[in-house]
Amino acid sequence: MKKQVSLFLLLVLLVCYGASAQNKIKVACVGNSITEGAGLTQPYPMVLQQLLGDGYEVRNYGMGGRTLLKKGDFPFWNESKYQDALAWNPDIVIIKLGTNDSKPQNWKFKDEFIPDYVQFVNSFKKLPSKPKVYVCTPVPVFEEKFSIRKEVVNTEVLPAVKKVAKKTKVKTIDLYTPFLGKADLTYDGIHPNDAGAALLAQEVFKGLKIKAPKAASR
C-alpha cells in the first residue's frame, strides 16, 4: 500500500512539474560568440535568466563566428541551432547578429544584409507561438581583431539593424550606447567579459520592459 501511495505521489509531482515547465515563457537568445559567451562564468543569457526569474526559461542559441548574411563564411542559417530555436517555438526571440558580417569576405555582400535579416526575423514571427522579436544593435568594436571592422560595424551594420527593425515592425534593443567608452567591459576589445555580459543582460532585460520578479518573502 505504501509503495502505491509513493508511486501516486511521484506521479502527481511529475505532472505538476510538467505543467509548470509548460507554463514558463520561453526566451530564445540567438546570436554569435557574444551571445554564446564561451569561456565566461555567466554568458548574458544566463544572467538574463536570473533577472527574469522562474516564470521564464531562457535558452542560449549563440554560436561563435556566425553571420546573418546567407553568403557569409559561416551563416547562422546553416546551423542546427537555428532549426532548434525555431522548433522550440519560443515566446520571445532576442537576435544579436551582425558583428562577423563586417569582415571583408562577408560585407562584400552587404546589399543582401537587410533582405536576409528581414527574412530571418520573419522566420520567427511566422511561428505558431507568434513570438515578440527584438533585434539588438551591435556592441561597439574597440579593437579590430579577427577581421572585424570597427568602421563597418559603427557606420553600416548598426544603421542597417535599425532599418530591419523598422521594416519588420519589431523593437530594437540598443547595446551600442551603453558600452561606449567601456572597453574595460571586454576581454579583447570585441567580446564582453563577465561584467560586460552582466551589463548586456541588464540592457536586454530593460529592453523587454518586463517587471523584475518579486523577492520571495521570508
Query: Is position 2 within any domain?
Result: no
Distance CA(131)–CA(209), nearest Å, equals: 15
Query: Is position 3 within any domain?
Result: no
How many domains, the chain? Answer: 1
Query: Is position 41 within any domain?
Result: yes
pLDDT of residue 39: 86
pLDDT digits (tens, 9 = 90+) for 99-118: 999 999 999 999 999 999 99
Backbone φ, ψ for residue 33 (5° rounding): -65, -25
Distance CA(134)–CA(127), nearest Å, equals: 15
- Partners of 26 in the beta sheet? 57
Domain span at 202: 23-208
Is 41 exposed, middle or buried (CB count within 10 Å of its CB: 0-12, 13-18, 19+)? exposed
- What separation in angstroms does the CA of 115 have from each of 30, 59, 71, 131? 18, 26, 12, 20
pLDDT digits (tens, 9 = 90+) for 115-157: 999 999 999 999 999 999 999 999 999 999 999 999 999 999 9
Query: Is position 44 within any domain?
Result: yes
- Partners of 27 in the beta sheet? 58, 92
Domain CATH number, residue 124: 3.40.50.1110
- Partners of 135 in the beta sheet? 95, 172
Query: Is position 13 within any domain?
Result: no
With contact defined as beta carbons under 8 Å apart, do 134 and 66 qualify?
Answer: no
Query: Is position 10 within any domain?
Result: no
Query: Is position 17 within any domain?
Result: no
pTM (global) more than 0.85: yes
Query: Is position 213 within any domain?
Result: no
Query: Helix (H, G, I), strand (E, B), or coil: what is residue 187?
Result: coil
